[in-house]
Amino acid sequence: MPLTESPLVDTARLRSAAAKARQQLLDDRSHQAYWEGELATSALSTATAISTLGLLYQHYPASDQVASSLPSKEELKSHIEAGTQWLANHQNEDGGWGDTTLSYSNIATTILAIAAFKLAGEEAQYSEAILAGTAYVDRLGWIDGLKARYGKDKTFAVPILTNAALAGLVPWSAVASLPFELACFPQSFYRFLKLPVVSYAIPALVGIGQAKFFHSKPWNPVSRIIRSLTVKKSLKVLERMQPTSGGYLEAIPLTSFVAMSLISTGRASHSVAKNAVRFLLDTVRPDGSWPIDTNLATWNTSLAINALDNHRVDTAALDMTDWLLSCQHVERHPFTGADPGGWGWSDLSGAVPDCDDTPSAILALDSIRRSPSFDPAGIPRIRQAILAGVQWMLDLQNRDKGWPTFCRGWGKLPFDRSGADLSAHVLRAIKAWENELLADGGLFAHNPEGLAHVVDQGFEYLQVQQNDDGSWFPLWFGNQDHPQEENPVYGTAKVLLAYSAWNRNHEAAAQRGFEWLAGASNPDGGWGSGVDHTRLKNGKLRNKREGSSVEETALALEALLHLPDLTTHAEVIKQGLAWLVDRVETDRYLDCSPIGFYFAKLWYHERLYPLIFTVSTLGAALSRLIDSAAAHETEF
């Protein structure tokens, strides 16, 4: 059955749903020049922040002069009580805690929650919660359970054990020593030192490494001397990397781990600790909880611009060009040593340029410059930014021909290696500005073969990364119901958009990808799986799996709408559109699912993801299907 005869979604319903979602997205921008969004409240973030404030309360400086630059003990107590109350109210039925209120329990967050109660001095009041949490961790095996979750990656496992050791839950002998002295080498050396943590975790390497050193010094006298001599110098690294906001990467857990390490070793008065505490108090929410990060404003805005472009909205008229250009990093970044040219996930000082936000911003600027009201006089400024951004991406390409997140050639630890979703995003961004890259003054003006070579290498990488079943796994997104917590729907959809952009849908890899994606739809017509929460009689929340997710369904449909011949999977597309349109009509299209991975398998959801993805897909459907209907002079 051709799509133009679909009985499931007629033109009027599709237009109405698209208009409703589009207007909701436009309204969400409010009076700002961008979309800030709202990241999930996190039990993990809340627990680490409470542990930090609890330790500060215990180790409060005696000097009035030092104390004057810190929150008062009364203020600390107020935040501690609100935070522990929030944790107690959001414990799962199995006794554990998940990263978000929509997440399954996991050993990491549960250990951190127990430690928070203890370091907050709230053991007596929340004894039942602690007992239930302890029973949950006992079933998984504490240290063995953490090893099973994180493997050889010490980025998160060691900080968790350090937090637990500070609370007296595990002995210091269980905490691995991190070589904080290696942070004293120049940043350009880091990738050759085989550090046991990923590139973005240098602050944790220093802070946690020093905590272990002071609380349990090594028996080896040489190691003891070397580390003693590098304490102050490595602290200078922490100072240099700390942004003006005080929050490393704008992330509450990373900032908390650094702060609690310094505070527990008698250095609450150090500027790094004081700035970190200020950051924590600046980011606490009214209900006493903390989000996983401050915001994803740049990422959300570029995604929103590109989604609205599918509706032929005049994005230039929204007056976001200056703001988006202002988010580009124009100086060498102190955190990763990244060269100028990239974009981070936020306009805030703690954001770091990366290879997902950069291509997304580049695509958004392409949408803006093609808008009807765009002033051609602005082209030179945008072109300069684009050339710098593309050059930044090209310099990041790894030897495996894929693109990593932050740093080239760092290593193979999770979130440092190349990613299929990142590489596909780069390829799409390059395609959008291909003509300018080849024109006079462009990066490949005198070497068009060079551009073709880069693109061919990128697709070779994607072919190698394709799974046997035809799918691709992304790096920064997952599905908590997948056996390996991977999200092949997200990964495959993003990769197929790159194949479509470069007119490579006829290639075998793309064909296998489309076949897998079409075959991965659920009986209800959607894709993926979402998590709903049901309130029990005792007021606690219970996780419950419930069908498909808005985010994954929208992503899968948008990719399938790029099929050269839509009749190939007509029924699947029609059923998916019916599912998505129904969600919009019944106001369930704003329901979030925890599909995002933050650092080290830390789940999150973002309030704007389902909205943005829905807007993008319904716009693509209008562009593709209504044109198809007009061509057949019939209605679908």
Among 58-62, 393-397, 417-421, 550-554, which stretch is predicted with the lowest mean pLDDT?
58-62
Q: Where are the beta strands (DSSP E) in 392-490?
A: none
Q: What local confidence, expressed as pLDDT, does residue 223 receive?
A: 79
Which residue, among 244, 267, 242, has the nearest Cα to 255 in the 3D structure? Answer: 242
Mean pLDDT, to the nearest integer, of 96-109? 95
Pick from 515, 342, 469, 488: nearest CA to 420: 488
Q: What is the pLDDT of residue 189?
A: 66
CB-CB neighbours of 453 under 10 Å: 12
pLDDT over 90 percentage in the chain: 76
For residue 109, the model assigns a pLDDT of 97
- In one-letter notation, the amino acid at residue 40 is A
Q: Is residue 265 a contact partner of residue 211, using CB atoms and an 8 Å limit?
A: yes
pLDDT in tens, 317-364: 899 999 999 999 999 888 878 889 999 999 999 999 999 999 999 999
Q: Is 462 exposed, middle or buried (0-12, 13-18, 19+ CB in 10 A)?
A: buried
Residues 6+ apart with CB under 8 A from 206: 180, 183, 234, 235, 237, 238, 258
The 10s digit of each residue's pLDDT in 350-405 is 999 999 999 999 999 999 999 999 999 999 999 999 999 999 999 999 999 999 99
Domains identified in the chain and CATH numbers: 1-31+471-535+542-636 (1.50.10.20), 41-291 (1.50.10.20), 295-465 (1.50.10.20)
Residue with tokens 């006298």: 221
Mean pLDDT computed over every residue of the chain? 90
- Find out whether 619 and 505 touch, Cβ atoms under 8 Å: no
Mean pLDDT of 302-323: 94
The answer to whether 454 and 448 have CB atoms below 8 angstroms apart is: no
In whole angstroms, what is the distance from residue 130 CA to residue 525 CA? 42
Taking CA atoms, 588 is separated from 95, 227, 535, 547, 550, in Å, by 29, 55, 18, 13, 8
Taking CA atoms, 381 is separated from 41, 321, 325, 365, 606, in Å, by: 38, 10, 9, 11, 31
**Confidence category of residue 7, pLDDT binned at 50, 70, 90:** low
Torsion of CA 95, 99, 103, 106, to 10 degrees: -50
Among 208-222, 447-461, 506-520, name the one with the lowest average pLDDT: 208-222
pLDDT tens-digit series, residues 404-452 = 998 887 666 667 789 999 999 999 999 999 999 999 999 999 999 999 9
The total of other beta-carbon atoms located within 10 Å of residue 39's CB is: 25
Are 405 and 475 within 8 A, CB to CB? yes
Is 127 a residue whose pLDDT tops 90? Answer: yes
pLDDT band, very low/low/confident/very high, at 289 (cuts 50, 70, 90): very high
Distance CA 432, CA 305 (A): 14
**What is the Cα–Cα distance from 242 to 239, expressed in whole angstroms?**
5
190: confidence class by pLDDT, cuts 50, 70, 90: low
| Separation between Cα atoms, residue 355 and residue 396, nearest integer Å | 8
Alpha helices in 310-378 (DSSP H): 321-326, 357-369
pLDDT tier for residue 66 given thresholds of 50, 70 and 90:
low
Pairing of strands 41-42, 531-535: unpaired
Q: Let me know the angle formed at the C-alpha of 39 by 366 and 538, rounded to the nearest 5 degrees.
A: 155
Predicted local confidence at residue 173, as pLDDT: 94
pLDDT band at residue 61 using 50, 70 and 90 as cut-offs: confident
Distance between alpha carbon 597 and the CA centroid of its chain, in Å?
5
Q: Is the pLDDT of residue 55 over 90?
A: yes
**Predicted local distance difference test score (pLDDT) of residue 266:** 94
Per-residue pLDDT, averaged over 294-308, amounts to: 97
- Indicate the pTM of the whole model: 0.93
Between CA 376 and CA 384, with CA 382 as vertex, the angle to 5 degrees is 125
Residue with tokens 């903390």: 290
530 pLDDT exceeds 60?
no
Model confidence at 151, pLDDT cuts 50, 70, 90, reads confident
Query: Tens of pLDDT along 20-38?
Result: 999 999 999 977 889 999 9
545 pLDDT above the threshold of 70: no
DSSP secondary structure string, 530-575?
-EEEEE-TTS-EEEEE-S-BHHHHHHHHHHHTT-SSGGGGHHHHHH
Name the residue among 211, 205, 210, 282 with its Cα closest to residue 246: 282
pLDDT (0 to 100) of residue 192:
64
How far is it, in rounded angstroms, from Cα 118 to Cα 232? 30
Which amino acid, 600? A
**First-last CA distance in the chain:** 11
Q: In percent, how much of the chain has pLDDT > 70? A: 91
Output the CA torsion 408→410→416→422 (10° steps).
10
Of 300 and 197, the one with more pLDDT: 300
Q: Residue 143 carries which side chain, given as an amino acid letter?
A: I
pLDDT band, very low/low/confident/very high, at 65 (cuts 50, 70, 90): low
pLDDT tens across 204-244, in order?
889 999 999 999 988 888 878 888 889 999 999 999 999 99
Q: Which of 620, 421, 434 is nearest to 513 (CA)?
A: 421
Can you give the pLDDT at residue 104? 93
Q: pLDDT for 249-281, tens place per residue?
A: 999 999 999 999 999 999 999 999 999 999 999
